[in-house]
Chain A
């Protein structure tokens, strides 16, 4: 089973700043089967990025994903007030098995 680790646990930033979130896998994630989600309190997760770098439908271009193998990054350029939330990475392996990282909380400084 591939284990995902996210860092930092909490990121305190101001609107207008940029955020860089890290997701590291215990083994290589095959064919970039890595996704990112945003979750706000009381809401379901929302898909932001799939295939490591493809934005989901309707996601603003200030969100971008990169990486391969075991190291992946979600970048949020110019934080808007609505971007303060918890972000999860998630991987798929062919057992099949889907696992999520523990999350990074982006809160207002």
Chain B
């Protein structure tokens, strides 16, 4: 049973860079895309982007200029860097897995990490 665990700072200042890590255990990174999804308090879910095991990445067009994701297969770690932060980036950030040969669904999720952007 794969497990995903997000880690990183809970508080970041405006205009700074957010760096999060998702550690993947109990399963292979092969055959999946590895995603970041966020959810502001009391609101809905927003897909940020994903990385394939090959290293190929795709991002939500609304964030493309501010986001970089990467996958370190040797460490089974997914990373997210989000630049030029503002209060609007305050949210719970989840990592999640979607099968490459699936129906575009997320079958495993981390527990999430709350990130607050504030000075």
Contacts and interface: CB of A to CB of B under 8 A. Distances in A.
Interface of A: 31-35, 37, 43-47, 50-52, 54, 56-57, 88, 90-92, 95-103
A98 B104 contact: yes
B58 interface: yes
Contacts, number: 66
Nearest to B109: A44
B103 A32 contact: yes
Q: Is the interface of B mostly helix, strand, loop or mixed?
A: loop
Given A43-B111, A54-B103, A101-B44, 19 more contacts: A33-B103, A34-B103, A37-B106, A44-B94, A44-B96, A44-B109, A44-B111, A47-B106, A47-B107, A50-B102, A50-B103, A50-B105, A56-B105, A88-B44, A95-B58, A96-B50, A96-B58, A98-B104, A100-B44
B104 A100 contact: no
Given A96-B58, A100-B47, A35 B109 contact: no
25 contacts: A31-B103, A32-B103, A33-B103, A33-B104, A33-B105, A34-B103, A35-B104, A35-B105, A37-B106, A44-B111, A45-B109, A47-B106, A50-B102, A50-B105, A51-B103, A54-B103, A57-B107, A88-B45, A90-B45, A92-B104, A95-B61, A100-B44, A100-B46, A100-B47, A103-B44
Contacts of A98: 35, 47, 104
Contacts of B96: 44
